[in-house]
């Protein structure tokens, strides 16, 4: 077993239903994953402790929509429940099951029920009914883009469900860097 460090980067994106893409700067997030020894094909299991995985919130400093920052006070926090899967060291291909609760709030005035996102984030192509994208395997510098399409069920809040047109799909694009931790541990998120 070995550790690998994931850092989330700028240049990420999120598309919900028929809305245009949110541009998201996820710098400062990440976590430490445990890599198993490779099997006969070179594939390794990769597991992140969801409690130790940090994903920056979407708000006016990190997220732009139609070229403008999100309105102040509007915040979407991401609470990971699961993040694990496989890494092929030879090709750089990754496929990680990602489950999280997305919490939408407007200051202290409004807090919606959690939106549940459950998808596989992959460095390969993904295709849904509405959205499609292709990721990028890890390169020699440890950079990759993971993409995933998820069906988002209604939250139970009539306002939010109508506003987002739920149920519908969401597309996530996560730019990241993954590699061994620095010897001094300074690169740990």
Query: Does residue 2 belong to any structural domain of this protein?
Result: no
48, part of any domain: yes
Q: What is the pLDDT of residues 46-67, one digit of tens each?
A: 999 999 999 999 999 999 999 9
Residue 3 falls inside a structural domain: no
47 - beta bridge partners?
A: 34, 84
* Residues in contact with 59: Cβ distance below 8 Å, sequence separation at least 6, in sequence order: 70, 74, 75, 76
Q: Number of folded domains in the chain? A: 1
Q: What is the pLDDT of residues 89-140, one digit of tens each?
A: 889 999 999 999 999 999 999 999 999 999 999 999 999 999 999 999 999 9
Tell me, yes or no, whether 156 lies in a domain: no
Q: Would residue 114 count as lying in a domain?
A: yes
Q: Going by DSSP bridges, is the β-strand pair 132-134/143-152 parallel, antiparallel, or unpaired? A: unpaired
Range of the domain at 24: 9-150+162-179
Q: Is 112 inside a domain boundary?
A: yes
Classify residue 69 by its DSSP letter.
Answer: E
In a domain, 189, yes or no: no
138 located within any domain: yes
């Amino acid at each position: 077993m070995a550790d690998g460090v994931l850092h989330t980067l700028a240049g990420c994106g999120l598309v919900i239903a028929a809305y245009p893409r949110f541009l998201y700067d996820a710098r400062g997030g990440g976590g430490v994953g445990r890599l198993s020894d490779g099997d006969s094909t070179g594939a390794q299991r990769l597991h992140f402790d969801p409690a130790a995985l940090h994903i920056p919130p979407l708000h006016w400093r990190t997220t732009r929509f139609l070229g403008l920052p999100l309105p102040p006070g509007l915040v979407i926090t991401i609470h990971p429940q699961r993040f694990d899967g496989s890494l092929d060291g030879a090709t750089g291909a990754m496929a990680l099951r990602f489950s999280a609760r997305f919490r939408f709030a407007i200051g202290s005035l409004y807090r919606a029920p959690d939106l549940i996102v459950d998808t596989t984030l992959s460095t390969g192509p993904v295709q849904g009914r509405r959205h499609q994208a292709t990721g990028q395997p890890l390169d020699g510098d440890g950079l990759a883009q993971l993409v995933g399409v998820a069906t988002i069920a209604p939250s139970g809040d009539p306002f939010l469900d109508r506003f987002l047109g739920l149920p519908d799909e969401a597309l996530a694009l996560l730019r990241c860097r993954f590699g061994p931790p620095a010897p001094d541990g300074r690169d740990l998120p």
